[in-house]
Amino acid sequence: MSQRKAVDDRFGSSPAGLPANPKRSAPEPDLAPLVLDLDAALPEGLAWELGLFAVRRRPSSLPSILVRALRGRWTGQTASREIAADDAGRIRLDPVWWAAALQARAEGRPVILLTAEHAELAERLRRAHPFMSDIVVVPGCDAVAGLARTAAVRARCRTGFVVLDASRASGPWARAGVPYRPLEPLPAVSSGPASRAGVWIRALRLHQWAKNLLVFVPLVLAGQALDPSSWGQAMLAFVAFGLAASSTYLLNDLHDLGPDRAHPSKRHRPLASGRLTIPHALAASGLGLIACGGLALAAGPAGLATIAAYLALSLAYTFAIKRQMVVDVVTLAMLFSLRLVGGIAFCGVASSAWLLAFSMFVFTSLAFGKRFIEIEQMARAGLTEVAGRGYRSQDAPVVLALGAAASAGAVLILSLFIVEASARTTFYVHPELLWAAPVALFVWLGRIWMLCGRGELRDDPVEFALTDRASYGLGLVVVASFTLACLAI
């Protein structure tokens, strides 16, 4: 259950995960403003969140932030002085407080921010959200019951005001005779896993571990499908790449916390929605990387080098490459191909230039498909650029063309491999049966791109294939063609 989703359903949502243009009446002169206590509405992990925004904007600030955090000098109050205005607009306020503020906005009622500790942050929030019309700062008062706060608000709002009170009729505002609006709980709306385990499964993206099945491909193609020791090594590679992927996914979501909240679907991810805390994500990522390194070390130098290359490329993608158009797509294809290299390294089988070339073309096509879907989603949302990426809405036709060209290249590479295999029949007894594979591949990739062009494919093409019956059927044709070609029938 997600209160943030409930806010979106009640008021509508902008790409930032925050309502953009709710229906509202024109402000009435006698409509009393709503006073919102910013210090109560901010998330508990504010310092962590602001630290991520600061590092994302200026990575060189990381050592300084870590030193200040260890000395206890990096707090929400100090961090709020160092972030930019657009980062302030992505801060996840408590959803119930935010809903009440949006309700006041829809009524045409001015919203005033009241704070004792976050004057700089309040000013940045006011700039990011113009419906927040004013700020009242009363330093040194750490409780809303302070008489100074009441007096300051009354001095600013001489014609009257309404406060947002979490303690209802027994609260200090009520005792002072000030009209108050109690915090109303939002209706429960399902927008993802409600259990703690479900949140972690989604955050770690365990369904993405299916991509690691690629480590078994070199084992099968090398003719060692009946070797138990090779299967054990391949399983070791499967788990190592899974831990590496999950750990870097967490780091990626931490790095993209702001842009994810500006995305129509990614804003529901556990970190972006607030269902998973930043410290927990950092701890899980660190433990995953340590475990991954241990498994790679047990596999030997080749396995360790492959995992190290995968992690280095993943981190480079997260912190820099993902914002470079086309280069980001090639990098994603390389990350897929490194899983094949991992299978070769962990199992100690011979490498195949055909296999690696084929994988680069296939996964480049699928990565372009993923970008095409994101561009189309942002275009439908009325935006011209994909948040955190280097693509614009007008790039969609070119991205589609590049993806289709890469898919054609994959079919061509597979066809050339079959021609070469037919010339040397030492491994395949019936190489002519292999021709079913490029036909099935062409149908599958063509279907993927037809669905992309129609706007009917709304997920990552790889994730879509994992739940698509037609994809399983065509994949079975490919497996059957290679299996039967090896049998003396």
Tell me the residue type at 343: G
Instruction: Give the per-residue pLDDT at 21.
Output: 40
The per-residue b/e assignment along 421-430, b for 16 or more CB within 10 angstroms, e otherwise, is beeeeeebee
Are residues 212 and 338 in contact, defined by beta-carbon separation less than 8 angstroms? no
In sequence order, which ranges of 264-300 are alpha helices (DSSP H)?
A: 270-273, 278-299
Looking at residue 307, its pLDDT comes to 93
Quick one: tokens of 439? 């036909």
Tokens 């955190």, residue located: 388
Q: What pLDDT is attached to residue 192?
A: 45
Q: What is the tens place of the pLDDT at every residue in 84-116?
A: 555 665 676 666 777 777 787 787 878 888 887
Beta strand 34-37 pairing with 162-165: parallel
What's the pLDDT tens digit per position in 370-413? 999 888 888 877 777 766 677 888 888 999 999 999 999 999 99
Residue position matching structure tokens 């062409």: 442
CATH 1.10.357.140 residue ranges for the chain: 196-486
The token pair that represents 145 in the structure block: 């019951």
Any idea which of 126-140, 163-177, 270-284 has the lowest mean pLDDT?
Answer: 163-177
Report whether pLDDT(28) > 50: no
The mean pLDDT value for 18-38 works out to 56
Place of tokens 């503020």: 101
**Tell me, what DSSP letter sits at residue 429?**
S
- Bridge partners of 484? none
Rounded mean pLDDT, 281-297: 90
pLDDT of residue 388: 64
Residue 147's CB is within 10 A of a number of other CB atoms, namely 11
Summarize the chain as % helix, strand, coil (round to 5).
65, 5, 30
- Return d(Cα 5, Cα 95) in angstroms, integer: 9
Spatial strand order in the sheet of 180-182: 132-137, 111-115, 34-37, 162-165, 180-182
The residue among 135, 47, 133 whose CA lies nearest residue 91 is 47
Question: What's the pLDDT tens digit per position in 134-180?
Answer: 788 777 655 444 566 677 777 777 667 777 655 444 455 555 555 55
CATH of 196-486, one of 3.40.630.30, 3.40.50.850, 1.10.357.140, 3.40.50.1000: 1.10.357.140
CA nearest neighbour of 367 among 265, 460, 250, 245: 460
Model confidence at 67, pLDDT cuts 50, 70, 90, reads low
Q: Are 150 and 35 in contact (CB under 8 A)?
A: no
- pTM for the model: 0.71
Beta strand 34-37 with 180-182: parallel, antiparallel or unpaired?
unpaired
Average model confidence (pLDDT) for the chain?
Answer: 77
**How far is 176 from 169, CA to CA, in rounded Å?**
11
Q: pLDDT tens, 200-241?
A: 888 888 888 888 888 888 887 777 767 788 888 889 999 999
Closest CA to 158 of 112, 194, 125: 112
Q: Which two tokens stand for residue 468?
A: 């698509």
The distance of Cα 122 from the centroid of its chain, to the nearest Å, equals: 27
Question: Which residues of the chain are in CATH 3.40.50 domains?
Answer: 3-42+93-182
Hey, which residues does 113 pair with through a beta bridge? 36, 135
Nearest residue to 305 via CA among 294, 313, 297: 297
Cβ partners under 8 Å of residue 188, min gap 6: 1, 6
Write the CA distances from 338 to 334, 394, 445, integer angstroms: 6, 32, 21
Fold of 3-42+93-182: Rossmann fold (3.40.50)
Q: How far is residue 234 from each of residues 157, 231, 343, 356, 427, measured CA to CA in Å?
A: 70, 5, 6, 17, 22
